Structure 1
């Protein structure tokens, strides 16, 4: 306890500056990534769509990102409007959702799907293969398998994985939870 009291005055003094002028700093957001593969799949580099989505606030995703999802899902991927509507409902806004009122464990897209992916808490576990899950939503049968829309039979199985596994072999049960590099 004695050591803590010695550190407090040092921390207070370290925060004190000798400058008499205040400098206001402004920052420009250049990238925003909550869910891997969302902006990368749906927003093209053409027309600066990818850049625009990186620089806007999540509150603008309802028009910007939702339009990119609509265009990609129906025109490029050829998916049904029902599947497209589910994808927009689940992925917009592009933020990581965690329902702190839930007591179950983390499950990627859990909160957004009402627990269809394994739990209602949301967030993600270290072992969740979020890229494969996202690609499965876009190009696979994930939406219909979860009972969120009828199977539109427009899946493209070869595009449902990045073929990089989320193997638990390099995770540990203690902080920092990552094992030795492979």
Structure 2
């Protein structure tokens, strides 16, 4: 009788060990980690930033300048980079002139399609031509940040009625995922007054698009909001 009871006692203990070992409650094996609070004390250095994609790439000529641009705070960007951005923009037009076998003096930057978006909403006149000169454009682009306009549609650039008047155009009020910011930037730099100056036609180089489109079916409603590469 005692041996019989001991057998069952041993079996019961063994079964209890199995139940504990196979339990779904892993708290004892994997305790909840303690809550960590971020510590922002200390000295930090800015090493990179991204405002308008492609601007640093196109308008800074050397790797050193590109790296310096990434480390410069926005409030210092205009004073540091506007003049070199403008010189670079003009130099690129000279380089394309040489490739076309033309006199560099004949192919320069042309005022672009931004019109009164950058120069003010007063009606265009001889006294207020609303010309987006190379200086005006590079002043804006050297401050490499994305603006936000709470009381206007969010868009990198919308040409409105399009060439030649671009009536109703709006730009630099933010950025949507659907905005092709690289094409817009190239148009502003090389598209001239119609947006199609260097459009690859008539023997001219194609400078107003990178040829890569963002398709509507590649935009999602959940993070990271852009689908797999196509």
TM-score tier (shorter): 0.5 to 0.7
**Which of the numbers 19, 42, 61 marks the counterpart of 1:44?**
61
Partner secondary structure for residue 35 of structure 2: helix
Which residue, 194, 209, 218 being the options, matches 1:145? 194
Compute the displacement of 1:54 (Å): 0.9
**How far has the Cα of 1:175 moved from its partner?**
3.0
**CA-to-aligned-CA distance 1:77-123 (integer Å, 9 cap, x gap):** 24348531232243131100011133xx311057xxxx978446711
RMSD: 3.3
Please say which of residues 154-163 and 60-69 is displaced more in the overlay. Answer: 154-163
Q: 1:67 aligns with which of 61, 83, 90?
A: 83
- Structure exhibiting the larger radius of gyration computed from Cα positions: 2
Question: CA 1:157–1:125 in 2, change beyond 3 Å: closer, same or farther?
Answer: farther
Number of residue pairs matched by the alignment: 151
Q: Does 1:14 align with 2:35?
A: yes
**Residues 88 and 73 (structure 1), Cα distance of their counterparts in 2 relative to 1, 3 Å cut:** same
In the alignment, structure 2 segments of 5+ residues that lack a partner are 1-33, 95-107, 112-132, 159-165
Structure 1: state its 5+ residue gaps.
Answer: 1-12
**How far 1:164 moved relative to its partner?**
1.1
Aligned to 1:26: 43
- The whole-number CA distance in structure 2 between the counterparts of 1:32 and 1:160 is 25
SS of the residue corresponding to residue 162 of structure 1 reads coil
1:50 Cα offset (Å): 0.9
Summarize deviations over 1:41-83 as a string: whole Å, max 9, x none: 010225x211111111111111222122111122332434853
The equivalent residue for 2:222 is 175
Give the distance between the partners of 1:14 and 1:117, measured in 2 at CA.
Answer: 52
- Give the TM-score, by structure 2 length: 0.54
